[in-house]
Amino acid sequence: MTTPGPHKSNFMATRKKSGASLSTARPTSVPTVPRPPSAGAKVSIPESQPEMAAVQVDPPSEAATASVDPLARKRKDPAAEGRKEKEGSSSRSASKRARKGKDKEKGRERVPAVPLSGGIFSPEFSMSDRAKFHMSSSQRALIEPLSELELTNAMLEMSTRTSALAWYLKEFADRPGVAEIRAELDIEKKNSASLQLTLEQMVLNQDDYDKKIEQLEADLEKSKREAAEGLAAARGEQERMAEEGRQLKAEVARLKEAEAERIKANEALSQDVAKAKEKIVELESTVMFEHEEGFDKALRQVSLLAGIPEPYSLGVDIEKDVFDGVLVDLNAVEEDEPTVGAGGGED
């Protein structure tokens, strides 16, 4: 591969056309920067670089801004201060434009965005024309002295390194420890298969459990209905028995009142019977006295008329009487009367 001879870069011409002055942009003392070697030689990038521009892409404004983090303290330069003020004003105007762009993007966000056709490699997906770098004077002083060949070699070296790192990341980044990972993956696959079988068995068991649960729920509903019917019948029976109990209580109260009245009547009758018995006893004693007095009177008259001085010595007794020409004791006659009545009944 042959490379053309060194000549001035188009980048410098572009800078001149845009109105930038090399005399004002370039400092009085150019810093010593190691240039990359010619084509075919290895390009070695120093470990410590003076300054690097950090590019930040703002998605709403679709513009890239670069911020510089200086690694070494710089000396104050009046010309540099003026340039910094100009750069600050330009950065402020750029920030205003970015804010306006953000406001516009906020208005656009209300409308749903449609992705580009063709994916990430679509020709419409271009960011180079939207990227904008804001570089300091020291950064421009680092790049402007380089020739087109040096810039090409530097870009080629960096792009080659990027491609090599991307290729290694794709091919070999996940290779170390792949055997252990595969062994662990096989173990996890076995565990997953075992868990899958267990899950299937659990699903089958769950189906059986669901059927049992449905059957139990049906039995429970049936039992609930039967219990509700039995409870309703029991409540009806309880109400009926309660009504009967109330009626029986009322009847018992009424009977108690009647019994109390009967007890009072019985007590009154008992008192009347006791009084009647007392009168009967008095009457019996009076009748017996009168009977004995009459008997004694008759006996005295018979003894006087018949001339019998002691009639009792002949066997005269008030408790005896003559039956069929025989003197019989009255008590014995009273005892024999039921026997005679029983014999007559048998005939």
Nearest by Cα to 145 from 15, 55, 54: 15
Percent of the chain with pLDDT strictly greater than 70: 61
Q: How far apart are CA 87 and CA 95, in angstroms?
A: 12
Task: Kindly indicate the confidence band of residue 106, based on its pLDDT and cuts at 50, 70 and 90.
Answer: low
pLDDT at 118 over 70: yes
Task: Kindly indicate the confidence band of residue 3, based on its pLDDT and cuts at 50, 70 and 90.
Answer: very low
Q: How far apart are CA 31 and CA 100, in angstroms?
A: 38
Q: What is the mean pLDDT of residues 267-291?
A: 89
End-to-end CA distance of the chain: 173
Report the DSSP pairing between strands 320-323 and 326-329: antiparallel
- Residue 158, classed as helix, strand or coil, is helix
Burial (Cβ within 10 Å: 0-12, 13-18, ≥19) of residue 78: exposed
Burial (Cβ within 10 Å: 0-12, 13-18, ≥19) of residue 135: middle
Task: Kindly indicate the confidence band of residue 274, based on its pLDDT and cuts at 50, 70 and 90.
Answer: very high
Read off the pLDDT of residues 180-223 as tens digits, 9 standing for 90 and up: 887 888 899 999 999 999 999 999 888 888 999 999 999 999 99
Helices (DSSP H) in the chain: which residue ranges? 10-17, 22-25, 78-109, 137-143, 148-171, 178-306, 330-346
Read off the pLDDT of residues 226-252 as tens digits, 9 standing for 90 and up: 999 999 999 999 999 999 999 999 999
Read off the pLDDT of residues 121-180 as tens digits, 9 standing for 90 and up: 888 888 877 788 888 999 999 999 999 999 999 999 999 999 999 988 887 766 667 778
Instruction: Tell me the pLDDT of the chain averaged across its residues.
Output: 73
Q: CB neighbours of 314 closer than 8 A, spacing ≥ 6? A: 308
Q: How far apart are CA 340 and CA 346, in angstroms?
A: 10
Read off the pLDDT of residues 27-64 as tens digits, 9 standing for 90 and up: 444 444 444 444 444 444 444 444 444 444 444 444 34
Q: CB neighbours of 66 closer than 8 A, spacing ≥ 6? A: 53, 54, 55, 56, 133, 134, 135
- Residue 101, classed as helix, strand or coil, is helix
Q: Does residue 152 come out as left (phi exceeding 0), alpha (psi in the -120 to 50 range) or beta?
A: alpha
Q: Residues 27, 137: contact at Cβ < 8 Å?
A: yes
